[in-house]
Amino acid sequence: MKLQKPKGTQDILPKEAARWHYVEEKARQLFSQYHYGEIRTPMFEHYEVISRSVGDTSDIVTKEMYDFYDKGERHITLRPEGTAPVVRSYVENKLFAPEVQKPVKLFYMGSMFRYERPQAGRLREFHQIGVECFGSSNPATDVETIAMAAHFFKELGIEQVKLHLNTLGTADSRKAYRQALIDYLLPYKEQLSKDSQRRLEENPLRVLDSKEKEDREIVAQAPSILDYLDAESQAYFTSVCDMLTLLGIDYVIDTKMVRGLDYYNHTIFEFITQLDGNDLTICAGGRYDKLVDYFGGPETPGFGFGLGVERLLLVLEKLGINLPVEEPLDLYVAVLGDNPQVNSKALELVQAVRQQGFSAERDYLNRKLKAQFKSADNFKASYLVTLGDNEIDTGQISLKNNQTRAEISLSLADLMTNFAQVMASQATSASK
Ligand code: ATP
Ligand code: MG
Question: The CATH number of the domain where 146 resides is what?
Answer: 3.30.930.10
Ligand 2 mean position to 265 CA, how many Å? 19
Among residues 318, 349, 374, which one ends one of the domains?
A: 318
- Determine the pLDDT at residue 147: 98
Flag whether 358 is in a domain: yes
Flag whether 84 is in a domain: yes
Residues 153 and 265 in one domain: yes
Flag whether 202 is in a domain: no
Among 134, 7, 113, smallest CA distance to 68 is for 113
3-state secondary structure at position 243 = helix
For residues 376 and 332, the answer to whether their CB atoms sit within 8 Å is yes
- Determine the pLDDT at residue 427: 65
Residues 276 and 382 in one domain: no
Among 328, 340, 348, smallest CA distance to 397 is for 348
**Separation of alpha carbons 125 and 141, rounded Å:** 30
Query: In a mutational test of the pocket of ligand 1, which residue from 79, 115, 311, 314 has the highest number of ligand atoms less than 8 Å from its CB?
Result: 311
For residues 167 and 139, the answer to whether their CB atoms sit within 8 Å is no
Instruction: Point out the ligand 1 atom lying closest to the alpha carbon of residue 81.
Output: 10
Residues 160 and 270 in one domain: yes
Residues 148 and 260 in one domain: yes
Among residues 318, 348, 376, which one ends one of the domains?
A: 318
**Separation of alpha carbons 192 and 218, rounded Å:** 8
Ligand 2 mean position to 80 CA, how many Å? 10
Residues 302 and 419 in one domain: no
**Per-residue confidence in pLDDT tens, the chain, 432 aa:** 689 999 999 999 999 999 999 999 999 999 999 999 999 999 999 999 999 898 888 889 989 999 999 999 999 999 999 999 999 999 999 999 999 999 999 999 999 999 999 998 899 999 999 999 999 999 999 999 999 999 999 999 999 999 999 999 999 999 999 999 999 999 999 999 998 999 898 889 989 988 899 999 999 999 999 999 999 999 999 999 999 999 999 999 999 998 767 789 999 999 999 988 889 999 999 999 999 999 999 999 999 999 999 999 999 999 999 998 888 999 999 999 999 999 999 999 999 999 999 999 999 999 999 999 999 999 999 999 999 999 999 999 999 999 999 999 999 999 999 998 888 776 665 544
Residues 381 and 234 in one domain: no
Residues 261 and 363 in one domain: no
- Determine the pLDDT at residue 260: 65
What one-character-per-residue DSSP string does 112-167 give? EE-----BTTB-SEEEEEEEEEES---HHHHHHHHHHHHHHHHHTT----EEEEEE
pTM, entire model:
0.93
**Separation of alpha carbons 190 and 367, rounded Å:** 73
**Separation of alpha carbons 394 and 213, rounded Å:** 79
**Ligand 1 site, residue 268, Cβ cutoff 6 A:** no
**Separation of alpha carbons 341 and 393, rounded Å:** 10
Residues 352 and 312 in one domain: no
Query: In a mutational test of the pocket of ligand 1, which residue from 20, 23, 112 has the highest number of ligand atoms less than 8 Å from its CB?
Result: 112
- For 233, residues 6+ apart whose C-beta sits below 8 A from its C-beta are 167, 169, 170, 173, 266
Flag whether 191 is in a domain: no
Among 188, 262, 187, 268, smallest CA distance to 225 is for 268
- Determine the pLDDT at residue 189: 94
How much of the chain is in helix, strand and coil states, percent to nearest 5?
A: 45, 20, 35
14-33 vs 139-155: helix axis angle to the nearest 10? Answer: 140
**Separation of alpha carbons 426 and 407, rounded Å:** 8
Flag whether 430 is in a domain: no
Which CATH number does the domain housing residue 363 bear?
Answer: 3.40.50.800
Ligand 2 mean position to 379 CA, how many Å? 41
Start-end of H helices in 55-96: 59-63, 83-92
Tally the domains of the chain. 2
Among residues 318, 348, 365, which one ends one of the domains?
A: 318
Flag whether 111 is in a domain: yes
**Separation of alpha carbons 14 and 391, rounded Å:** 34
Flag whether 49 is in a domain: yes
**Separation of alpha carbons 17 and 144, rounded Å:** 30
**Separation of alpha carbons 210 and 66, rounded Å:** 23
Residues 312 and 349 in one domain: no
**Separation of alpha carbons 185 and 182, rounded Å:** 5
Residues 70 and 143 in one domain: yes
Residues 282 and 359 in one domain: no
- For 172, residues 6+ apart whose C-beta sits below 8 A from its C-beta are 230
Residues 256 and 404 in one domain: no
Domain of residue 384, residue span: 331-425
Please name the helix (run of DSSP H) or strand (run of DSSP E) that holds residue 228, with its range, or none: none
- For 291, residues 6+ apart whose C-beta sits below 8 A from its C-beta are 53, 83, 84, 87, 263, 302
